[in-house]
A = this chain, B = another copy of it.
Amino acid sequence: MDKNEILKSIESLSKKKCDAMYLNDFLLSWDKSEDEIAAILQTAEILRAMRQDNISCRMFDTGLAISIFRDQSTRTRFSFAGACNLFGLAIQELDEEKSQIAHGETVRETANMISFLAEVIGIRDDIYLGKGHTYMKEVADAVNQGYREGVLPQRPTLINLQCDIDHPTQTLSDALHLINYFGGVENLKGKKIAMSWAYSPSYGKPLSVPQGIIGLMTRFGMDLVLAHPEGYNLMSEVVTIAQANCERYGGSFARAMSMQEAFQDADIVYPKSWAPYTVMEERTQLLQARDHSGLKKLEKRCLETNKEFIDWECTEKLMQTTREGQALYMHCLPADISGVSCESGEVEASVFERYRARQYTQAGYKPYIIAAMIFLSKFKNPAEKLTQLFNRGRARV
């Protein structure tokens, strides 16, 4: 985008109704309206363009952003860091081992104690089924209460950096990638996207990415096909949401019994491993009971079951069966690449390599998606604020 296009995009943003995002959290993509989703995607592009034009997006002279990572993270951690830094916020990470939380402190108390000068809180908590989203709501409610009670001088808004249900910063980055790849959101209508389970020699991968994908992509009028081996089903609530989206937005939702079937004539393929739902449930119980031998047995059993589906691999041969053999390959990364990061995995090395740079580009949207979420939660009139930043014209470097 050149500067004229930036201004036009801001102008168009001003027409979107997104005031409900102001002083609000981003937990699940399906809680947001069409306008709100569109506003996120558009704001992300505006911020990315401004940075590329060396226009500083710094709007905080000082301020803190809090991060809580209850699971490993590279991409999302650095994306959150980049997004916060873009606005001038300094990150303070809550390391639960170094805090007094072990002493039995309540979530409500901790949430307030870390938020006196916090503008935003980013949380990853994706390991336990039924836990991550609940924890995020508890934190959000706590700081909201703290704000109402006058304990906190501002309302820190919360961003879901992956929970057990959804991974919105990932799936919105995926959506932005698709929009840019196909030349506009209107071009997604009628495109066939295959969200397929794929084999991986690991276990316990969260369900939030496939759930987030079927919950979001069905809003763009796409034809979604979900494929996975028996027993690897997703949360039924999210499937219901995806189906409802299709009725509302004119797409379709189908199931396939194999990757082959799902890939047939697909425009986009998203082959990715996840754990069986029942295994995740069992794992959550064992983890909470600290049953280490039970966990080891479960892992062993799960890995053996996985192996039955070792042929669920995104191969060159399978890619040939997609639309003109040219489907866009997607993955949230890191992928298990056969012969590279493991013996047999989700995707053949040559397929991954052909789409590698595109995949990396897709990952590069995430800082701006997060930045957009922050921006829209902090300014009642985001278009006006963007115009201000644009007109200020302060150089980033």
**A100 cross-chain contacts in B, Cβ below 8 A:** 72-75, 334
* Residue on B nearest A51 in the bound complex, by CB: B153
Q: Which residues of A contact B (CB under 8 A)?
A: 51-52, 56-64, 66, 69, 72-75, 77-79, 81-82, 85-88, 90-92, 94, 98-106, 109-110, 112-114, 116-117, 146, 149-153, 202, 333-334, 336, 340-342, 357, 360-361, 363-364, 366-367, 378, 394-397
Q: Is the CB of A85 within 8 A of B62?
A: yes
What are 18 A-B pairs at a CB distance below 8 A?
A: A56-B62, A58-B61, A58-B62, A64-B81, A64-B85, A72-B102, A74-B113, A75-B100, A77-B99, A78-B114, A85-B90, A90-B90, A103-B336, A106-B340, A109-B334, A150-B357, A151-B364, A153-B364
Q: Is the CB of A341 within 8 A of B82?
A: no
A71 and B66 alpha carbons, distance in the complex (Å): 20
The number of times this chain is found in the oligomer is 3
Q: A56-B61, A60-B397, A106-B340 are in contact. Are A85 and B333 (CB under 8 A)?
A: no
**A56 cross-chain contacts in B, Cβ below 8 A:** 61-62
A285 and B82 alpha carbons, distance in the complex (Å): 38
Q: Is the CB of A99 within 8 A of B85?
A: no
Q: Is the CB of B360 within 8 A of A146?
A: yes
Closest 4 CB pairs of A and B: A104-B341, A82-B117, A74-B99, A105-B334
A262 and B338 alpha carbons, distance in the complex (Å): 56
**A82 cross-chain contacts in B, Cβ below 8 A:** 64, 92, 116-117
Select which of B78, B110, B151 is within 8 A of A74 by beta carbon. Answer: B110
